[in-house]
Structure 1
């Protein structure tokens, strides 16, 4: 056991060779960066995007809704860094504010959809029997629809708005999360500490909330991180098709929609920059998600 110069024993954690000082948060970050440099790169990109979203009024050079006749189809220059669009709005400022929409919609839809799906999966796997049968048939019915088609159908019913996009994407995430977490719950409910909890009289919901849910946390985190990139793509797809974010709200998908599709020959920057923003964000999120899966999944640790 390690002893510091002051004579106070340092916190320790078990390893294969015995006991060693417990890592600090900074040491864990350094270790993650060394083991998963691509994952660390993805994390840096996501953090930068979050900073840009929070500081959008400072980072942007113009109001994203303000029009200026001089900016119409203006190429990238010192005044309009990424050019102007078809009605004279600054593309750079709209791209900056669009970061907010992509991250907010992606994060909230994943938070609600994956959380609800995880809870359904844990309950279904724990109780089994008729409960599991009924719940899984409902999930099968939802998964029988392609995800984008299901999202389009929900948006057609609810109408175009940021809130409705979050609701539609959350509904799309529920069945996949439920099936994934259910498989984890089925294996966890048979382990000794669950049987011991039942033996001492713990109730079903106490076992679910105090024992099963925490032990599904690693799978939940990995699933949420991987789903985030897909949520950004689907939000952009809905906006591109004209049924997602309203046209007056700056979003990356919306910037690719409408007149921009027919103006790429005279103003290619209208499609290039939003497309790059989507591609880089999704790529970074997927890198981070893959790294988290490798680090948090016990079955993957021995392979790294």
Structure 2
């Protein structure tokens, strides 16, 4: 009697698209390292006041006699060891960098997400309504993108003045057009798909079709852009602060720390500008590497 061996027919893969994307991301050691580094920077900035030995902006904790101490020097006043040295006001540079990271990340991430929200909604409206509304919005986007970002930000801050809120507003005004153009392009492709026609055939409200059906399918390019624009927003904020039009001296970011030590470089006190500059460089590099990897994963040409 012949035995019949049952064979198992392989079924479809149980891996979801999200799980596949995570596995693809984890396959790159460089991208994983960049993500871990960025998470460490975020945690350091979030819990910095409970980690660093000094509040560099509390006058009761600094002494002008500790000014310009080189890295590794022990404070004769408080007994602290300044691992990265001090500036001309006696502030611990390590503590100042951690506090500066808080401002830079808050302004960069907050302004990028706000610009993403505004630009995405405007792009969806332009693509879904079409006609003169779309033409007007896209001509406004073209006009916005024809000017250098730093020039527009300088003009806005020269009128409004410095401050965290004004810097966020300036960056949002500069960046929203990039999201609007990208989302509009993606929505133009999706609005003629069958599922949009089916939603219209069900007599659904236009706002529901746009937000519940069209918008989710336009999000992959937005995710890619927002990861890149966060680094761009941090760099723009640092540039504005370096020029003296960014955050005030009572809430200094990395850009302002670099500017404070610029005049001391020729005197040999390199650490006042060097270490904040390295912190800014490492932060932006980590974000850009993560963004590049996300772009490779979400690129349809790289998906089999």
Q: TM-score, normalised by structure 1?
A: 0.89
* Aligned counterpart for 1:61 among listed residues 34, 53, 73: 53
* Aligned counterpart for 2:152 among listed residues 145, 150, 153: 150
Q: Which has the larger radius of gyration?
A: 2
SS of the counterpart of 1:21?
A: coil
SS of the counterpart of 1:74?
A: coil
User: Where does structure 2 lack aligned partners over 5 or more consecutive residues?
Assistant: 1-9, 74-80
Matched residue, 1:228: 230
Number of residue pairs the alignment of both structures matches: 284
1:59–1:96 contact (8 Å) kept in structure 2: no
Please give the residue correspondences for 1:1-304 in structure 2 after superposition, counting only pairs within 5 Å.
18-22=11-15, 29=22, 31-34=24-27, 36-65=28-57, 66=59, 67-77=62-72, 79-258=81-260, 260-265=261-266, 266-302=268-304
2:258–2:274 contact (8 Å) kept in structure 1: no
CA distance in 1, matches of 2:119, 2:16: 33
Q: How much does 1:300 deviate?
A: 2.8
2:21–2:297 contact (8 Å) kept in structure 1: no
1:64–1:250 contact (8 Å) kept in structure 2: no
Q: How much does 1:283 deviate?
A: 0.7
CA distance in 1, matches of 2:207, 2:21: 33
CA distance in 2, matches of 1:190, 1:37: 40
User: Where does structure 1 lack aligned partners over 5 or more consecutive residues?
Assistant: 1-16
Q: TM-score, normalised by structure 2?
A: 0.89
2:259–2:273 contact (8 Å) kept in structure 1: no
1:294–1:301 contact (8 Å) kept in structure 2: no
CA distance in 2, matches of 1:37, 1:164: 39
Q: How much does 1:23 deviate?
A: 6.1
CA distance in 1, matches of 2:245, 2:212: 41
2:56–2:91 contact (8 Å) kept in structure 1: yes
Deviation string, structure 1 residues 128-186 (Cα, Å, up to 9, x no partner): 11010111111122222210111111111111111111111111111111111111010
